[in-house]
Structure 1
Amino acid sequence: MVSGQHTLPSWYYTSVDAMPKHGTVSSLSHNRWRTQMAFSKSVYSFEVKEDTVPGTVVGKVETVFESPTPITYSVQEDDGENLFLLSPVSGEFLLSRSLDFEAQRFYILTVAVQQGDLQVSSVRVYFSVLNVNDNPPLFSQDTFYASLLEDTRVGSCFLSLNVSDKDDSDNGELKLKLVDGDEGTVFFINSAGSLCLNKELDRERQSSYNLTVAANDCVQPMSSQLTSTAHVIVVVNDVNDNAPLFVSAKSVSIPEDTALHSVVMTVHAEDEDTGPNGEVLYYLNSTSSGAFSIDNRGGDVYLEETLDREQVDTLTITITATDRGSPRMATTMNLTVHVEDANDHDPVFSQSTYSLTVREDIPRGTSLFLVQAHDQDTGPNGRVRYMMTQASPFVVDAVRGVITVMDKLDREKDSNYTLSITVVDQGDIPRSATAAISVTVLDINDFAPQFSPETLIVRVMENEEDPSQLKHQLSALDEDLGVNSQLTYFIQKGNSDGLFSITPNGTFQILHSLDREKESLYIVMVIAVDSGLPPLTGTLTVHVMVDDINDNHPEFTEEVYNTIVSEDTPTGTVFAMITASDSDEGVSGELRYFMENPDVPFAIEETSGELFTTEVLDRETVAIYRLTVIGSDKHPTQPLSSSVIVTVLIGDINDHWPQFMNSPYVAYVPTEMAPDECLKVRCQNGGTCIPTQDGYYCHCVPGFEGEKCEQFIDHCRSTPCVQGSCINSQTGFSCHCPFGVSGVHCEEHSYGFEELSFMEFPSLDRRTNLISLEFATVQRNSMLLYNPGGSSSREFLALEILNGAVHLSYDLGSGPVRLQTNKQVADGYFHSITARRIGNMGSLHVDNCTDVENNGFCFSQSDGSSSERTLDIGNSNMTFGGLRTAEFILLHPAQIKTHDFVGCVRNFHVNGILLRPSMALATYNILDRCPRTTVSPCHGNPCKNGGVCHDLWSDYLCECKSPFIGSNCAKETSEEVVLQFNGNDYIEYVIKESFKRDYLLKDLLDDEKEENNKDQTMINIKFKTKDNGVLMFLTGQTGYFVLKIKDRKPVYLSKDTLSGHLSEFTVDSPVADGVWHVLSLFSNGHVTFLALDGKPVLNITDRSMDLTPVSVEKIVLGAALTGDSKVQQSGFTGCMQYFNVTGYTLPVSGHSVTVDIWPSWTLIQSSCISPGVCLPSPCSEIDTARRGCLSGQCQNRW
């Protein structure tokens, strides 16, 4: 346009800034078009997303008229700086680069169309950029910090979280939330974006929080939302809201001689607060400040006054622990101080001097007198021991103070003793006292009369007409004086026929004539008795030997001799022996023979009495001879003789031809003869038919009888086997005897010995012991026979089985002799033993072994080297099969190694006398019959499923392999073995006497045991519970203790029954939490402590008690069976998996070598869900249907 006026532009471009968003708005001023409209639209408007990819067609302009010539599109005005490229031909717009809604939201272009060089028309084109959510929220900082007092009020807001988003509209709306670090929902974010407190704070529980806050926009769908996070550190500042708590022990023990100003204990309290709020100061209560003081900061308690346990043995201090907060908080604790004894007192005798009189014949081992000393101290300081410093026949019991005679007294040597006895306490630095004892020995009649020599030989001729004239004066010597040496003589034995006499003054004479042939030697025992009280005797053995005279005629062995000799016997043939005897001695008893018949063809040998022929004999001439033979002794002056008739028959020989006496002979035969019956009869069973005049008879073989031997002879018809079964045979019968019975007719039975059985008989002979018996056992260590001496005697004799072999031991005063065989006899079969002791010679035979080559296997003998020959055991009884009490073990610990026999015995002889239980002085647990029916109850394999059978002699025990249980291991269970208690259940264990004796023997014989390992006892209980209750109760000789749960914690409570002192200790670890725990108690006599789950938690050494089997009497699991009201508490409610005492898992039923088991009746139930499972598992509160199911057949696990 050409004009004289100013030419105005057709478009005006304006840039406008808008806050908070930044962009550019283009505005074009439109002038009136002077050309005809050529575009299809007057205005084009396009929307383009800001994330459109460059190169994309985003719009198109078109014309509405047709042109014969080409048209061209061009951009006249463009505020997008070629952001949109226009195709000059097609009119399409292409995006040349990326858009940004946040930088510019709108674009305006002017597009013209030309036809040739002529511009036809132009049009406005508007591009609107559509927003896309492409900017995440942005926090003002990555980490925010805040601090709060722990008592800040709930709902308080304490931190503003600044966050922004560049996106517009919904894309810029934000939401805040906590995504981490706030598991307890302690905080929340309000609508204003501030962090606020949702719950109360506790700095002691958590002192800081590390929170994560997330901000996200509100674009839909949610998957398109963008999120950013920031961290918030919240520190909780302390306020004084916790009082100090004492964590140190509430009791302490100190010696009474503790030095002044010494630290007796350091108390410690902990305060969970921090800074001054957690700083603890300690103060003593004013009533406690005299004897003790305390370091306010360190907690050290000092002793300020001298202690004296004998006046006050327990002190209580009240200690206050306070913090330095505002306001201050405090806690008090009562500290109990036990004053331990110090050895500050000497022992004191009840009197300074003692005097006593004793007879010189008092037996060795006799207790004479009890001296007593008292020490005011306690424990080892108060335990005293007595001793003597000089050698004397007396000893003192170190513990009891009993004065005992140990050697024989002799008033003639020492009539008075002055003893010095010292008592010493057991303190580290012992204190002692001394007293004097005067002992006067009273004279007694202690010398017995003695004959010298002790044997006298008196000779007398038999048939002496007046033997009383032959007197012998006997004399014995008594070293006593006065009436104790005045003797009277008596004949003690050997004068049953009244042939001898002795006067009171000792004249011995023969009253009647004696016959040597009736008795050639008389042994007469003469005793000399003194007049003392009691009287003593001496013995003389008088051998009266009767000398022979010729007063007996010879006596032939037969009254008449009948003999035969053949007529053709050669001359000199001996055909008979004529013998006689004479009771006289010497030549008076020597015989010679001769005949009174002079003219006979016979002669007799003078010395031997042989008859022989002197001529050839002819029976047809003389068929018989009658001879008179005389036997005479050879006495030189007055021989005596006897005669006897000898008839000699001459035997015929075939020396003549036969001659008929008649000729002819006539015989008559009956018309009928009886037939041979044996041709018709058949004897049975091997019998033989023999014809007889009356018919026949059958001669039967042994075992058959009857007319035709058809009956079998029943030799058992008369029941010949007394206690066994009879087995018949052709030749007789035999008896099959049951186990323990013997003899041809099973008439000999054996006796049964149960646990702790014994028989007592009078003591063994001093000089000779011949012991024989038969026995059967499976016990490899057994006491067969034992005869000890008195309490002070070392002499004894014992027959034992050790490690399955027989041992004989004895001591005659010069040391023990021990004979040992190696043949194993503890196999359940009967074995025989013969033990001999004659003087100092001993031998041992097992099963009739006599072969010297077997020496050491089944035969053993001593060499007889001992100088002593008699067993001087006094009046102590001989015990067989066991001991009456354990006192024998304590009195003579080195003599025997066993104490009991379980088995069967028969044919028990001592010195030829059969000893039966009815003859015993005392018996216990002896059965009339052997209880065992077979060699072994395990031979039939009663234990199933791989179970191991243990022979208990009269019964058996099966040790089952998992998972099998029951008396024969026949029942299977897959359940874990645990036991459940309901508060009323318990199991009582009583320690067996046999186990106590076993332990005592082992303890005494184990010389290699070290002191620090001695008598160790460990008790373990594995349990779980949620309630209080008693776990275990143990009572012994000196007191008892209880392990229980109180206030959910383990408690050890003990009482000394001698002093009445009751102690209670608590473990500060809860166990009533429903999980498994193991509580252990360890003691070795000196140190005792508790452990929980393998960690030591409590030292209770000061209150230790003896837990060895010898001292423990009873253990109760699950309850406290005592009448003491101070320890009464409900029983245990919960589960126990095992209860172990020193390596032994105590069973809940069945057999045990250690204890007798007595479960409460409530624990034994009749039904279980799982058959055969005696101990239910799992153990739970809902498992009430199976609670406590305990089968009587269930066995323990060893």
Structure 2
Amino acid sequence: MVDPLLRWGCREALLLFLLLGSLWGAGTGQIRYSIPEELDKGSFVGNISKDLGLKPPELAERGVRIVSRGKTQLFALSPRSGGLVTAGRIDREELCAQSARCLVNFNVLVENKMKIYGVEVEIIDINDNSPRFRDEELKVKINENAAVGTRFVLPFARDPDAGVNALLSYRLSSNKHFSLDVKSGTDQQKYPELVLDQPLDREKEALHDLLLTAVDGGDPVLSGTTHIRVMVLDANDNAPLFTRPEYTVSVPEDIPVGTRLLTLTATDADEGLNGKLTYSFRNEDDTISETFQLDSSLGEISTLKSLDYEESSCYLIEVEAQDGGALLASAKVLVTVQDVNDNAPEVILTSLSTLVSEDCALGTVIALFSVHDSDSGENGEVACSIPSNLPFALEKSVNNYYHLLTTNVLDREETSDYNITVTVVDHGTPPLSTETHISIKVVDINDNPPTFHHASYSTYILENNSRGVSIFSVTTHDPDSGENARVSYSLSEDTLQGMPLSSYVSINSDTGVLYALCSFDYEQFQNLHFWVTASDSGNPPLSSNVSLSLFVLDQNDNVPEILYPTLPTDDSTGVELAPRSAEPGYLVTKDHGQPPLSATVMLTVAVADSIPDVLADLESIKMPSDPEDPSLTLYLVVALAAVSCVFLAFVIVLLALRLRRWQKSRLMQASGGLTGMPASHFVGVDGVRAFLQTYSHEVSLTADSGKSHIIFPQPNYADTLLSAESCGKSEPLLISDQINGNEERGDFQLLCVQE
């Protein structure tokens, strides 16, 4: 049962340590605490939330957590209180052995800031270990002729505690022959020696029982004992002697197992059994006996297993030589292990953002990682690097932590993924390296509008198309991805001939295919001009426009329309004069449609000696009621056949008509009927106007069923029929003056065809 006074003292010490720890941590850049060892699990260490400038609930919200390279987590965070607490019982001796100070270092990460804070906790030793001898009983053999003042090395006790709690002194039970002398070595270890104060007499007393007590300086004082049995032997007056009191050897950690490190040499002046020496480890612990082997006869020390500098950098071995008479001598052996570069650097990824927006700001932290090399010196110094052709850089933080951050603007359309190789190389010879791969995906933003493949488009469609027929297709390219690259198409709001554009054409919003909503008519309009808009589905959406021209192509879907001469409405007839200079093969009219279409008009040819005779006969000519009478074909055939018959008569009549015309012209000038009228003037009869030519005309005469027809051909080029435009705008020209009464009357009608 623990004494109440002792328990009170521990509690007071704990409070003092906590107060000192808080003051220690608040005054420096690094957070420091101090606690005694052997606290219960969950014991308070320090107010970490206060030292971080956070409130207790913010520890979880900001992702505060402990980052440590150790396999065993000694401390934990209490989100409720905001304090740093122990994760279990802490044994200082297990952590730091007998080191003067026992410091535990770790880091606290604030996840949302990607910020690291160094924390150092000193573990204060308490007197929880008693001094302990390796053996509960030790046998010491002493020759009876041993001189007064002869010293015998005794086993020393070990106390894992440090400072005042460590081993303080030795005490020897009361006796009349021996006393105790304690010496301090260079390693501050106290070594007890048994000193012979009075000569021994084996025959009187062959066995002496002594009790050696080791005492520490703790409060309360703890102690340990060992029983020493001194056996008095017959005279062996020479003790072994080592050539040196201390041996040192330095070896690299990668030497093969079984390598001989050194040979110890001791001498004994005695002969025979008293001079034969046996070597052995003195007070060796398990580590020494498992690592080294000592040849008891030769004194050679060799390795039993591989040395590891990272496990232990030095070994202190005590070797004793004992002769056959039980006299002893001891020597120290210090084995120093040299570090070799046998550990590659280690990379520990602490935090990583695998998805990075392409519009992130320069200097955005992508990852946080630490590097560590278990070697020492230059072998443990490392250099960290990444390829130089990447838009990223490394920035060193505290305690070998590095930030990976952006240095250039990211463009997903140029590079969507990055596989960053982090290379860590130490400064050893030869250098060792480690590579860690960090994969980062660039997240798309809507920074590219849809782009048409051409600056403008034009297409053609034949008139009389079917409704709903596909006309054209437009396509775009959007280098973005996902919704940012999904494009929809639409047409501009416009009107055509008072109707909205949407009543003529439509576009498929998904495919960009343009459709006709009506059947186009070339005679109504020949082209449409409108804009097509392409918009993506980003937020906000981006769009672009392109102009599209739709041309309607003509089809031969209209028959020729006779524009001149028009059918009269007042029983009059139209007159067209043909020039006398018209040559055979003169072109009257033509149709170029595919397939060719036709229209029919009745043509009446009046044959007269002079123009006045023709004008007089035209008054009595009536238009046929049906221009498409089947007898027309018969008339044409008969007229064609009659031409060959009357050709000779036509030559004679032509001469007569020319003479007659000249005579009529003089008569008209004399009578004043046409006197003073310019040759280019029009003459009107019954509201119909005709154009009189001023030069001689060549007359062709045909006969059909008792009727004579006269045709006045026009000259090529100079005096042609009215143009297509003037035919469409002008009225038929008629002349109604009386022609010579002696001439037969015939019907005459002009034909004007517009292509």
Could you say which structure has the greater relative contact order, defined with CA pairs below 8 angstroms and 6 or more residues apart? Answer: 2
TM-based fold match above 0.5: no
Whose strand proportion is higher, 1 or 2? 1
Quickly name the TM-score band, shorter chain normalised: 0.3 to 0.5
Q: What TM-score, normalized to structure 2?
A: 0.44
Greater share of residues in helix: 2
